[in-house]
Structure 1
């Protein structure tokens, strides 16, 4: 079993998409914990929509590649167009990323480091 530190974000109707994403993520693993949600400004995007972001730790027997495939499936089910080559620069219903294995102390974007203490990880 591996523990992965991951991020969750949305700037299109996040109050609707966050609960749906969390429910889908909880269905993947019985061992998952979420930080609180925080509003953040967009990074490297030209948009007026702020994001809602969170971190989470998921424990799973899946490889990182298998887990990312599941995250992509959830994103698509919630309306994200993963075929768009510009998707990283556009508003999104949901974005789920693997930051790395918890044991590897993955780098966390500065705007999310305050959430590490919510998960019991020192910042």
Structure 2
């Protein structure tokens, strides 16, 4: 089993999309832990919509590629257009990313670093 540190974000109806994404993620693994949700400002985007973000750790036998494929399916089910080449510059219903394997101590964007304590990865 592998443990991945991942991020979750939304700036389109996050109060609706976050619980739906978290339920879909829980269906992927019985061993998943979420941080608290925090509001953040957009990074490298031209938008007036703030984000809701969280980190989570998921334990799974899947490879990173298999897991990302499952994350993409969840994003698409919640309305994200993954075929748009400019999707990373646009508002999104949900964005789920793998930051890395927990054992490799992956880099976390500074605006999310306070959430590491929620997951027991920092003091």
User: TM-score, length-normalised on structure 2?
Assistant: 0.99
Unaligned runs of 5+ in 1: none
Separation of aligned partners in 2, 1:83 and 1:65: 17
The aligned counterpart of 1:101 is: 101
The aligned counterpart of 1:47 is: 47
Separation of aligned partners in 2, 1:73 and 1:64: 14
Separation of aligned partners in 1, 2:12 and 2:77: 14
Separation of aligned partners in 2, 1:122 and 1:52: 21
Aligned-pair CA distance for 1:39: 0.1
Query: Does residue 115 of structure 1 match 2:115?
Result: yes
The aligned counterpart of 1:84 is: 84
Separation of aligned partners in 2, 1:2 and 1:69: 16
Query: Does residue 13 of structure 1 match 2:19?
Result: no
**RMSD across aligned positions (CA):** 0.6
Separation of aligned partners in 1, 2:67 and 2:100: 11
Separation of aligned partners in 1, 2:122 and 2:32: 18
User: TM-score, length-normalised on structure 1?
Assistant: 0.99
